């Protein structure tokens, strides 16, 4: 594992011509039409800020989530089931002990990590694929405290497990967001396979749901009669990007198949449609369900992509380094292999930029306390990368 690698790369060298028109790529579903102007293919924003990237740490095996510590270091998860501390100067620590059993098959493993902003009691939350009987598994969340020497996660307690478990290795969702009002949002997936997908609209499970729980265990209050008490909203495919905006409102981005990545602002008790309505097509090229994109009582996405960017990781910029980006949404692109930036006017997207195109599969995005933007690249030799002005 490399302790510290410094490599500065100008954005222009990665991106090619400034503000390349990615909107020129044809959609997978050309006959589908947006429900309102600006719902997809927003105007391409100028990519006119020279960026530099610094590899803070590399040699990370499929890193998935990160959380900044008060001293400028980072907790970073590796999907095979390891949690590590990366110091502010780039030293990668040994595997942190004390994690619960983890099923690392397929898209599973150790996923997100979260700490309270002040880290007052050294509390940490992790999400992961938890093994269950019969080769099944489920997204779970546990919490514990990091030992004073940073070597062990102590007093670990599982506080949530998606029900029912499935024999699937896909679509675990799994971003964690403290809502600032005593709750913890957990994004989930619908486990991908036809059988669980068919239950995503059912109210007696957590399949394809967004849940809100107490950070120390249990539901944070029932929302809708007939729903499980943890369920906040439903009708999602696989949400791997979630964050609060400057007003404290939750936003999510979910993966579509061939088209249909969605930006949503989930609200309590609402149904976001999957798999009844969606944009794009199934991987086979056939329509999803009846192939409809709208139905009364089902919410439209704020924005969608076709083709997909394969969104993972979301942050709203709030810092001094890039004042031009204040309030913008920053999204990781796995297939897009870029840092995707959206400008917003209220709840509508007004422009899109794709920075650092070709940097790799961006799995997570965070804004550091110094205003730099931190990226995790998802690879066997993945990296923690700092983005600054050149």
Closest CA to 13 of 322, 357, 312: 357
- Catalytic residue list contains 206: no
Q: Is residue 335 within 8 Å of 70, Cβ to Cβ?
A: no
Give dist(CA 207, CA 163) in Å, integer.
7
Give dist(CA 166, CA 279) in Å, integer.
26
Contacting residues for 238 by C-beta, under 8 A, at least 6 apart? 170, 171, 172, 173, 189, 190, 192, 254, 255
Structure tokens at 341: 């930036």
- 364 SS3 class: strand
At 33, phi and psi to the nearest 5? -120, 140
Q: How far is CA 256 from CA 139, 274, 307, 311, 313, in A?
A: 19, 10, 9, 9, 15
Reply yes or no: is the peptide bond before residue 163 cis, omega within 30 of 0.
Answer: no
Tokens 């994109």 correspond to: 293
Which of 62, 171, 206, 255 is an active site residue?
171
Output Rg (C-alpha) for the chain, integer angstroms.
20
In whole angstroms, what separates CA 368 from the centre of its chain? 17
DSSP-derived letter for residue 298 is: S
Burial of 298 per CB tally in 10 Å (0-12, 13-18, 19+): middle
Burial of 279 per CB tally in 10 Å (0-12, 13-18, 19+): buried
At 196, phi and psi to the nearest 5? -65, -35
Q: Is residue 304 within 8 Å of 40, Cβ to Cβ?
A: yes
DSSP-derived letter for residue 27 is: P
Structure tokens at 346: 């209220």
Active site residues: 171
């Amino acid at each position: 594992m490399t302790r510290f690698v410094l490599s500065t790369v100008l954005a222009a060298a990665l991106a090619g011509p400034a503000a390349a028109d990615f909107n020129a790529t044809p959609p997978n579903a050309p006959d589908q039409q947006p429900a309102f102007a600006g719902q997809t293919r927003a105007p391409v924003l100028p990519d006119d800020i020279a960026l530099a990237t610094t590899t803070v740490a590399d040699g990370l095996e499929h890193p998935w989530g990160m959380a900044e510590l008060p001293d400028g270091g980072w907790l970073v998860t590796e999907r095979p089931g390891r949690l590590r501390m990366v110091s502010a100067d780039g030293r990668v620590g040994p595997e942190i002990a004390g994690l619960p059993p983890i099923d690392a098959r397929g898209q599973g493993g150790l996923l997100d990590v979260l700490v309270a902003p002040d880290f007052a009691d050294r509390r940490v939350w992790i999400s992961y694929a938890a093994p269950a009987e019969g080769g099944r598994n489920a997204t779970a969340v546990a919490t514990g405290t990091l030992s004073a020497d940073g070597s062990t996660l102590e007093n670990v307690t599982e506080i949530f497990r998606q029900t029912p478990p499935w024999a699937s290795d896909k679509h675990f969702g799994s971003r964690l967001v403290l809502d600032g009002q005593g709750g913890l949002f957990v994004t989930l997936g619908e486990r991908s396979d036809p059988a669980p997908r068919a239950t995503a609209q059912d109210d007696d499970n957590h399949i394809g749901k967004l849940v809100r729980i107490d950070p120390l265990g249990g539901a944070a209050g029932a929302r809708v009669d007939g729903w499980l008490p943890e369920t906040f909203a439903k009708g999602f495919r696989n949400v791997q990007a979630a964050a609060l905006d400057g007003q404290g409102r939750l936003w999510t981005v979910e993966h579509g198949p061939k088209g249909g990545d969605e930006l949503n602002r989930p609200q309590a008790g609402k149904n976001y449609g999957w798999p009844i309505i969606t944009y794009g097509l199934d991987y086979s090229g056939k329509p999803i369900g009846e192939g409809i994109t709208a139905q009364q009582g089902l919410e439209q996405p704020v924005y969608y992509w076709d083709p997909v960017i394969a969104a993972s990781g979301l942050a709203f910029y709030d810092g001094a380094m890039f004042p031009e980006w204040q309030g913008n949404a920053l999204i990781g692109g796995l297939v897009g292999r870029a840092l995707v930036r959206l400008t917003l006017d209220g709840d509508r997207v007004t422009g899109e930029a794709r920075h650092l195109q070709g940097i790799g599969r961006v799995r997570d995005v965070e804004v550091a306390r110094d205003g730099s933007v931190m990226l995790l690249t998802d690879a066997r030799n993945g990296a923690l990368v700092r983005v600054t002005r050149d």
